[in-house]
Each structure stands twice: as C-alpha cells, then as structure tokens.
C-alpha cells in the first residue's frame, strides 16, 4: 500500500486566526483548512500541477492576493 504524501513529508505550516495553510513542496500540494480542538481539518487542497496547467489560474490567484493586500494597505488597519 502506497503512503500518502502527508504521511511521508513534513509540511511547512502557517497558522492565521482559526485557519492554516500547509505546504508539501515535494508533493506539490498546498492544503487549506481550519483549526478545531487543536486539530487541523483540511478543507481544500491546491495541486501545483493542476494550477499551472491552466493558462489563467496561477495569474488569477496571484492577482487576487495582490489586490487584497493593496485593499488592506489602503484601509490602513490591517483587517
């Protein structure tokens, strides 16, 4: 039986509020989820291969993050 990527690779994890992101570089997976009762519950997995196979997906994601950051900077409150 083949082990799952999360069973063999140690991710880099970023926690923010009640949410988290975990990056599995070798597997090319970025997990998003919520923290509940001290556990990480994965809600969505972004696949690197699928993201970059599409002509628009990666640039759309980059653009959205840039726009959100600009909005927060304009608000000046960081929320």
Note the pLDDT of residue 28: 98
The domain spans of the chain are 5-75
Digit-by-digit pLDDT tens for the chain (79 residues) are 899 999 999 999 999 999 999 999 999 999 999 999 999 999 999 999 999 999 999 999 999 999 999 999 999 865 5
E strand residue ranges, the chain? 12-16, 19-24, 29-36, 39-47
Note the pLDDT of residue 1: 85
Q: Which residues contact 46 (CB under 8 A, 6 or more apart)?
A: 29, 30, 31, 32
DSSP state of 2: P
Note the pLDDT of residue 76: 84
Q: What predicted TM-score, i.e. pTM, was given to this entire model?
A: 0.83
């Amino acid at each position: 039986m083949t082990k799952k990527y999360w069973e063999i690779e140690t991710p880099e994890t970023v926690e923010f509020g009640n949410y988290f992101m975990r990056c599995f570089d070798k597997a090319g997976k970025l997990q998003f989820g919520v923290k509940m009762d001290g556990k990480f519950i994965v809600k969505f997995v972004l696949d690197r291969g699928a993201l970059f196979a599409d002509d628009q997906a990666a640039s759309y994601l980059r653009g959205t993050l840039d726009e959100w950051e600009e909005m927060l900077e304009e608000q000046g409150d960081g929320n």
